[in-house]
Structure 1
Amino acid sequence: MTTTQQDQDVIELLCDQHNEIKSLFAEVRSTTGEDRKHAFHQLVRLLAVHESAEELIVHPASRHDASDAVVDACLHEENEAKRELTNLYALGTDAHDFDEVFAAFERKVIAHATHEEQQEFPVLRRNTDPAKLRRMAGAVRAAEAVAPTRPHAGMGESAKTMVLVGPPMAIFDRTRDAVRDWHRKANR
């Protein structure tokens, strides 16, 4: 039985995105040239919007039920990942040491997703009304629609910062994405 977007709760949505992230890691590892760049840009975008939405919607809700230590650990891992992804993005997929840096980054991101799935999400599911979890999925989708599409490590990890700085950065990022995509299509 397939779940529609309306029926999907926030935990199902985030776990689906974790699986999509894992698939994109595999695609980046298995491709070269322009295909690799394209897959990497998709991965960067998904990680950026996913983490922004978690910081705005999921972690504040989890903080109420999970210990501060669990949520603080997630936020620390995400902030570290933003810094590493910023550096990896600047390095570029054609760099001679990209594969090594990318593999280390992948291990950390997968460990972070596992941490969320094993420590944060079960507490959220146990202590949150199913209808609220479904509404949270809608809130995550809305947050992702206006989230930055690149990591901005200097922005910090608080929900307040994301609300204030996220939308202007998202406009800038999405404009840059559109120009990059236009150039790529124009040069084919």
Structure 2
Amino acid sequence: MADNENVIDLLLEQHREVRAMFTELETASGARRTELFHHLVGLLAVHETAEEEVVHPEIRDLEPAAETVVEARVAEERRAKELLSTLQSMGPDADGFDTLLVQLRDDVLAHAEHEEREEFPFLRAHRTPERLRAMAATVRLAEAVAPTRPHPGVESATANLLLGPPAAIVDRARDAIRAALRK
């Protein structure tokens, strides 16, 4: 992490990575498709957890009127987690996977656009560059200990802090087992 990295730039870069992964998933097949999908699951899971723990509470603290914006983003995140969980249960080779993947892509990209248009300008206008850099560091820490799989219903900062660490341990153990089995 660069010392001058701010939370908005960090999240924008992650949004670009997610967009690129969806694009690559559209044409990938076989083992590469499965690998990309599992990477996407992990990226989205840790990204959303960090937003729920750091970004959304920050916006709520800034302006009570922003509550409706935050609640809309949380609802989008919950829907994405539900779809992602369903897709994960199905697997990339299942019938209907592609249809749900397109739905997930559309939902996730709309969610990212809403954040970029509604939340990020609000942060930029109301937080100092120093605070935005501190938030980036906090997001990085939250991502380092976040679950790597979706857990629908765990969208609040409190729920993430209480339930996230045990879920993260289980998720990361599963990831290690999956990686060992692929070798």
Q: Structure 2 matches for 1:135-174, cutoff 5 A?
A: 135-154=134-153, 156-174=154-172
Q: Structure 2 matches for 1:7-156, cutoff 5 A?
A: 7-66=4-63, 67-154=66-153, 156=154
User: Aligned pairs, how many?
Assistant: 181
TM-score (norm 2): 0.96
User: What is the distance in 1 between the residues matched to 2:85 and 2:119?
Assistant: 25
Structure 1's consecutive aligned runs of 4 or more residues displaced over 6 angstroms after TM superposition are: none
User: What is the distance in 2 between the residues matched to 1:65 and 1:168?
Assistant: 30
Percent identity for Structure 1 against Structure 2: 49
How far 1:64 moved relative to its partner? 2.3
User: What is the distance in 2 between the residues matched to 1:145 and 1:46?
Assistant: 11
- Give the CA RMSD over aligned residues: 0.9
Q: Deviations over 1:118-174 (max 9, x none)?
A: 0011001100011010010000000000000000114x3110010011011101100
Match of 2:174 among 173, 176, 185: 176
Q: Which amino acid aligns with 1:6?
A: D
3-state SS in 2 of match to 1:151? coil
User: What is the distance in 2 between the residues matched to 1:38 and 1:89?
Assistant: 12
User: What is the distance in 1 between the residues matched to 2:3 and 2:27?
Assistant: 34
TM-score (norm 1): 0.94
* Structure 2, unaligned runs of 5 or more: none
User: What is the distance in 2 between the residues matched to 1:27 and 1:178?
Assistant: 24
User: What is the distance in 2 between the residues matched to 1:175 and 1:24?
Assistant: 24
How far 1:5 moved relative to its partner? 1.9
